[in-house]
């Protein structure tokens, strides 16, 4: 009897760990708040780069829908993974707080780290979307999972009302402001 109980417990543990993506996007999802689905690391030295951050194991899961760091002289690092179970690969990430100075979004593309940069420190005309919030295109093919890292610095209050969704849903939400 104890062996069966152990097998059942281990099976459930495996099932929950196998579905390890922090964020799962499905067909019926629209604009999804992911504040509680991200992991945070505060770099008080402001010296860590993406290679250093990828090795860290001490990220802490956010407990807030809108993480708020106040005005800090630190670098905030965010880690999250996305599993795309929708029929679309055009996913977008939106940070709806237009006063952040520098946001860098890192991903792994064919074993090469790529970075996309947005923020008040960059000219508005460089943005793909004509919106004051920061919107990044995410390339997550159907039925695949991808891990992202985000580096954030700002001289203003760092709040992260952060959303993910299909491109059309995010763009639609910006029109309703």
Model confidence pLDDT, tens digit, residues 118-169: 999 999 999 999 999 999 999 899 999 999 999 999 999 999 999 999 998 8
- Read off the pTM: 0.86
Long-range contacts of residues 4-9, Cβ cutoff 8 Å, at least 24 apart: none
Instruction: Write down the domain spans for the chain.
Output: 21-175
Structure confidence by residue, pLDDT tens digits, 21-45 = 899 999 888 899 999 999 999 999 9
Could you tell me which CATH number the domain at 21-175 has? 2.60.40.2380
Give the chain's length: 177
Of residues 173 and 100, more confidently modeled? 100
Query: Residue 173: which H helix or E strand, with range?
Result: helix 167-175
């Amino acid at each position: 009897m104890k062996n069966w109980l152990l097998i059942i417990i281990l099976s459930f543990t495996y099932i929950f760990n196998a579905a390890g993506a922090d964020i799962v996007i499905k067909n019926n999802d629209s604009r999804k708040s992911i504040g509680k689905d991200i992991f945070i690391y505060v770099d008080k030295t402001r010296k860590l780069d993406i290679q250093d951050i990828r090795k860290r194991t001490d990220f802490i899961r956010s407990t807030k829908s809108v993480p708020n760091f106040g005005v800090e002289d630190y670098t905030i690092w965010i880690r999250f993974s996305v599993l795309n179970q929708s029929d679309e690969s055009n996913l977008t990430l939106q940070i709806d707080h237009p006063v952040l100075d520098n946001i860098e979004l890192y991903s792994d593309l064919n074993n090469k780290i790529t970075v996309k940069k947005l923020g008040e420190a960059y000219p508005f005309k460089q943005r793909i979307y004509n919106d004051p919030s920061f919107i990044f295109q995410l390339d997550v093919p159907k039925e695949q999972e991808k891990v992202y890292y985000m580096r954030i610095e700002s001289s203003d209050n760092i709040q992260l009302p952060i959303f993910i969704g299909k491109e059309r849903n995010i763009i639609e939400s910006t029109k309703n402001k």
